[in-house]
Structure 1
């Protein structure tokens, strides 16, 4: 069980590791009873006694990919070859890490008359998974459209789950797009190519006055922000977060 909060945050126990896409792993932890967060927020995880480290140190920020109503705490990351991620992969189940947070302001707006449009690339999906799973569990009437870009279906964390959530939430739509579907061994019937204005226009015909949320690598986030502003979207209606640790 996760321990109570202390000056150093929470001590949480690793309970499961699961490959959720090629090169992407989810890590599940016991959730402390006192810990509360809003979908879209992140935490800092610190390895208490790592066997190796590097210049980046032994603390990393992770968006919480689980929903508040789920029983465990889950984060997910690309398996880059860094000391921190090597250590996280080989830690025995039952090991503890230190967690501080939650932090961050990339949370869903309260006005449910304005739809939310999520634009995610790769592992940038994690905060949006928390949001759309929570919305389904709460039977929220808030309209949501999730655009999700990856190279191939094999590279897309939580792809099947995010598609299936449409059956549980009539106010949620999923639009996946693959930039290299020809390199996939898995059939893909969805959109192809990069997220762009034409793709958004095609799927947002009857979506009025949405607020846009953009998460992914810095280059993608910058390009999409520029695209949205070029489409006369007010800057105040664009919320972004970059994941630099790719």
Structure 2
């Protein structure tokens, strides 16, 4: 372990102690301070903040798309890549004080594979059961890190279910050719296999102190966290009008339509609006739903979203396009919550993160 330094976060006035061997985001999470983040790999910029005081910071590798050199020179930083070598004062640019102060402790554990079922030609519905410890707490919409068997690498996947007493966790995971975790999940996993995990991560959680309408926009494995939120809303009797816009390429890329239809009566004014961006000839014959980019479909259905909360999850280009569309339709930027499913290494990661 290295020397320790104090990092103070403004404008919330929270201080933590950070070891030089830890990045700032990790240190905060271990101390129950839930800062905004996404990929944890320096690619999505969700944790981008500004250094008010202090200069001695070292960085793990990161994408200059997330933190361009000129922004770094002006004082911006990525908390998931930054190591403090002196006391710092950090201004949080993207934060939610309710979430920051309600963080759950990170917990490592072992899970056992219960099932691994295909839900589309390239996505799996993985279900695991906690073996130890007795409990790993999480909020609906958060994600779990898996250690890839036979390696020290981790991959992150969003829970598709709300917390439950049985220690069951469900995931919707996209299979990539030659992906590190994908290859295991596609060709090697067996029921009963034990996996090492850590959770919870992520801030894609429902803000409990609001009653505004909800707009969900997702694509691909972005089904997972939204499904977790919708299931939790149904269980908890949350009476907020919700619409879920889901983008897929073709009909064979759609999943969970029956469950979403079954959830509808348990939710207030719920609508599920799937759209095909690249319908093939077989789709054209039997598809009577929406076609086109999911952001265009949102525009067609929504004229004014002022006052709504929006949750967006999927690949970075889709997320960026959706945020632009939603703000143009009246959603306040501070009320748009997102997960960018960036890729790690071999085209792999949080539902690709």
1:173-208 alpha-carbon deviations (Å, 9 max, x no partner): 2111111233445832221111235x3355446866
Q: Answer whether contact 2:299 2:325 (CA < 8 A) is retained.
A: no
1:24 aligned residue: 123
Q: Distance in 2 between matches of 1:191 and 1:182?
A: 13
Equivalent in 169, 186, 207 of residue 73 of structure 1: 169
Equivalent in 211, 234, 245 of residue 136 of structure 1: 234
The change in CA–CA distance for 1:225 and 1:128 in structure 2 (over 3 A counts) is same
Q: CA deviation at 1:112?
A: 4.1
Q: Which of the pair has the greater relative contact order for Cα pairs under 8 Å at 6+ separation?
A: 1
Q: Does 1:86 align with 2:194?
A: no
Q: Answer whether contact 1:177 1:193 (CA < 8 A) is retained.
A: yes
Q: CA deviation at 1:10?
A: 0.7
**DSSP-derived class of the 1:34 partner:** coil
2:109 aligned residue: 10
2:140 aligned residue: 39
Q: Answer whether contact 2:214 2:242 (CA < 8 A) is retained.
A: yes
1:58 aligned residue: 153
Equivalent in 222, 228, 235 of residue 124 of structure 1: 222
The change in CA–CA distance for 1:184 and 1:168 in structure 2 (over 3 A counts) is farther
Q: Answer whether contact 1:78 1:123 (CA < 8 A) is retained.
A: yes
2:328 aligned residue: 230
Across the aligned residues of Structure 1 and Structure 2, the Cα RMSD in angstroms comes to: 2.4
Equivalent in 260, 264, 267 of residue 166 of structure 1: 264
Residues matched between the structures, number: 233
Q: Answer whether contact 1:115 1:208 (CA < 8 A) is retained.
A: no
Q: Distance in 1 between matches of 2:305 and 2:329?
A: 15
The change in CA–CA distance for 1:228 and 1:169 in structure 2 (over 3 A counts) is closer
Q: Answer whether contact 1:9 1:98 (CA < 8 A) is retained.
A: yes
Question: TM (normalized to structure 1)?
Answer: 0.84
81-90 or 101-110, larger mean C-alpha shift:
81-90
**DSSP-derived class of the 1:181 partner:** coil
**Structure 2, unaligned stretches of length 5 or more?**
1-105, 344-351
The change in CA–CA distance for 1:209 and 1:184 in structure 2 (over 3 A counts) is farther
Q: CA deviation at 1:161?
A: 1.8
Question: TM (normalized to structure 2)?
Answer: 0.60
1:64-91 alpha-carbon deviations (Å, 9 max, x no partner): 1122248421112111121322123312
- CA radius of gyration, larger in: 2
Q: Answer whether contact 2:107 2:200 (CA < 8 A) is retained.
A: no
Q: Distance in 2 between matches of 1:70 and 1:141?
A: 24
1:3 aligned residue: none
1:97 aligned residue: 195
